[in-house]
Amino acid sequence: MMIFWILAAGLIGLALSFILLPLARPETANDAPEQDALNLDVFNQRLRELDADLGAGFLDQDQYAAARRDLERDLLRDVDGDGTASSAGKPTSALGRWGLATILTLAVPSAAVLMYLQLGDLEIAPRLEAAASGQPLPADGAGGQDAPSMEVLVERLEARMKENPANLEGWLMLGRTYFAMDQRDQGLDAISKAYELAPNQTEVMLAYAEALAAASDTKSLEGKPAELIGAALQQEPANANARWLDGMISYQRGQYQTAAVAWQKILDELEPGSEEANNLRQMVDEANSRAGQPETASTPTIGAPATAPAPVADESPSLAQSDPIPASVTATPEPAAGASLAVEVTLDPAIAPQVRPDQTVFVFARAAAGPPMPLAALRLRVKDLPRSVTLDDSLAMNPAMRLSAFPEVIVGARVSRTGQATPQAGDLEGEIGPIQLDGTRQVSVRIDRVRP
């Protein structure tokens, strides 16, 4: 953003030079007779136009007389009684020229900034950041005008990146937004371009590691992501995001105690009782609860990097945020071992004309009493419906928030008009529940209503 304002200042300075340089030169008097002749020609032309309008009936006699008086008054103002140029044609004094120059120096930059604030695209950054964090989009602008849709904002950012492909922050923002819209391939491509620009920058390395894992089918941090995270830790051993991801690598390998120790150190640095601390506490408790089990690799869960505490996410561009765990949730419920649900997802024919075959469908289960974030979720397309899927712990978005950790759940399906995981007004959805996980193994969800 700083580069933008520097360039804007330079362009404003260039514009001022075209305005101020002519004012700085001494001004010579205009040729009075020629100016008077020009004024008379203009007067005669406009008078002929008035005569024609009167003859055609466009003006009545009173309107014609008033218009002619205005023309004659203008002519007298432009030409003085002696036939010399009026004050407008006389040389401007040095004081007048520099006074005008001072006014323009202040007015031009101010007007440019105000016009940009009113008509420009400053809304792109906050709206894209809101999408990337999985939060509701900012409210519409003043005056009742609808704010641009996410698709329009992304198109604008894509166009800017084509014009300025060296914009590192732009590629990171574009990548985060693509992941938030569940367009993983495009998200990985954008983050990859950022990595090409700054392969040795710690936060870019971590963003690329998360992107590689989130875009893969396994969501695993093994391989190249682990190498990048290790290199980032060598550069900045105190980097909280790198430490959190390193703990996630241990968790995915089944090294739960190592993960718990790594996350506990980060937890000790957070404000007690904060949302971030409660979120991370859930993960530490989950890792500790599994520490007594045999060290076998667990299901990868890097699909939603937002499970890191908020300060960590601020340091590194997260790729797809889920809702934070409320502070009121402080303990993991007793697990119902082996919980899984077979879900039959259908679309009501009455609202089928409102969707497109390529639109994203999210199928999810969330706790009937607890945090709003999904315990298990997967993605389909409208063209895949009707479809039977299975929700279980392998689809957990947070290792501390698994399907088997809650006795009752709500199962739902939603057609996202924007492709975002965060529900938006106008999405089509359907839900069923609460469902007891200790006995129920199969349910049906019908997408049959529009989200208000």
pLDDT of residue 245 exceeding 50, the answer is: yes
Coil/strand/helix, residue 277? helix
**Tokens representing residue 168 in the block:** 């590192």
Q: What is the pLDDT of residue 318?
A: 41
Question: What are the tens digits of pLDDT across the range 91-142?
Answer: 445 545 555 555 555 555 555 555 554 444 445 555 555 555 544 444 444 4
CA–CA separation, 65 and 417 (whole Å): 63
Q: Helical H runs in 164-253?
A: 168-180, 184-197, 202-215, 224-235, 240-252
Give Dmax (Cα) for the chain.
Answer: 108
Average pLDDT in the chain: 72
Q: What is the pLDDT of residue 179?
A: 79
Sheet with 340-347: strands ordered across: 387-392, 340-347, 442-447
- Contact between residue 171 and residue 193 where contact means Cβ atoms under 8 Å apart: yes
Sign (positive or negative) of CA dihedral 431, 419, 282, 443? positive
CA–CA separation, 12 and 241 (whole Å): 40
**Tokens representing residue 5 in the block:** 């304002």
**pTM score above 0.75:** no
**Tokens representing residue 294 in the block:** 């045999």
- HEC per residue, 369-412: CCCCCCCEEEEEEHHHCCEEEEEEHHHCCECCECHHHCCEEEEE
Tell whether omega for the bond before 434 is within 30 degrees of 0, i.e. cis.
Answer: yes
DSSP characters over 414-447: EEESS--SS--TT-EEEEEEEEETTT--EEEEEE
Q: Helical H runs in 79-167?
A: 94-119, 124-132, 150-163
Question: What are the tens digits of pLDDT across the range 159-189?
Answer: 888 888 898 888 988 888 887 777 888 889 9
Q: Give the phi and the psi of residue 11 in degrees, each rounded to 5.
A: -70, -35
H/E stretch holding 365 reads strand 360-367
Q: What is the pLDDT of residue 404?
A: 80
Question: What are the tens digits of pLDDT across the range 293-349?
Answer: 444 444 434 443 433 443 333 333 343 333 332 322 323 333 334 578 899 999 999
Domains by residue range for the chain, with CATH:
200-331 (1.25.40), 340-450 (2.60.40)
The residue ranking higher by pLDDT, 101 or 423, is: 423
Residue 365: which of 354, 376, 379 has the closest Cα?
376
**Tokens representing residue 428 in the block:** 């089509």
Question: What are the tens digits of pLDDT across the range 30-58?
Answer: 455 556 666 666 777 777 777 776 666 66
Of 61-65, 214-218, 383-387, the poorest mean pLDDT is in 61-65
